[in-house]
Amino acid sequence: MTDSPVLPSTARPAPEWLRNLAAARAHYEERFGWPMAVQVAERQLAVTLGQVVDAITMPAELAARVHAQLGIAMLAGPVIAHPDGRFWTFLTQTLSTPRNDLMNDLAEQDVRHAAAGRYAVIPTELTDAGWRWIAEPRPNQMLPSAYAVVATARRVRAADPAA
């Protein structure tokens, strides 16, 4: 048996931005129970979709109307604006049995349901990537049903086809 040489430790502490993202990750996991991931290359935080949280993305103009209607119905939940401002993402409850036809009639309006295993970026003040909260999550807030968000988008489109 040969002895392995002992190499001097070159470990350095993690950079501050990474420690801050790790703390933000712990905050979201503990406060909301969301499965979070630190995306190191992008220096951002993301929630894993399909386990506890799902996401529905749509153009901002339609999303603003949908968000307002969900608020009236007391079904509003967290909403994230994308960096270019053209799209918003609604965080929803997971679909227990995903339906392939759920979004068919809204596809031409660019309304999308993210597949399980994908990620949604979570805005933090730690990064300046342009992601921002339209409506932040609140403790003990139940996420809206994905079906409620889709149904509201359909209703808004039916009431105003130009939306």
Is the residue at 10 inside a domain?
no
Structural domain total, the chain: 1
**What pLDDT sits at residue 5?**
67
Is the residue at 8 inside a domain?
no
Question: Domain of 95?
Answer: 16-159
Is the residue at 50 inside a domain?
yes
Tell the residue number behind the tokens 């933090």, with chain if given.
124
Is the residue at 32 inside a domain?
yes
pLDDT in tens, 28-52: 999 999 999 999 999 999 999 998 9
pTM recorded for the entire structure: 0.86
Is the residue at 34 inside a domain?
yes
Is the residue at 4 inside a domain?
no
Residue type, 161: P
Q: Residue 3 and residue 86: Cα distance in Å, rounded?
A: 61
**Is 7 strand, coil or helix?**
coil
Check: CB of residue 105 under 8 Å from CB of residue 156. Answer: no
Q: Residue 24 and residue 125: Cα distance in Å, rounded?
A: 10
**What pLDDT sits at residue 45?**
94
Is the residue at 3 inside a domain?
no
pLDDT in tens, 69-128: 999 999 999 999 999 999 999 999 998 766 666 677 787 788 998 888 899 999 987 666
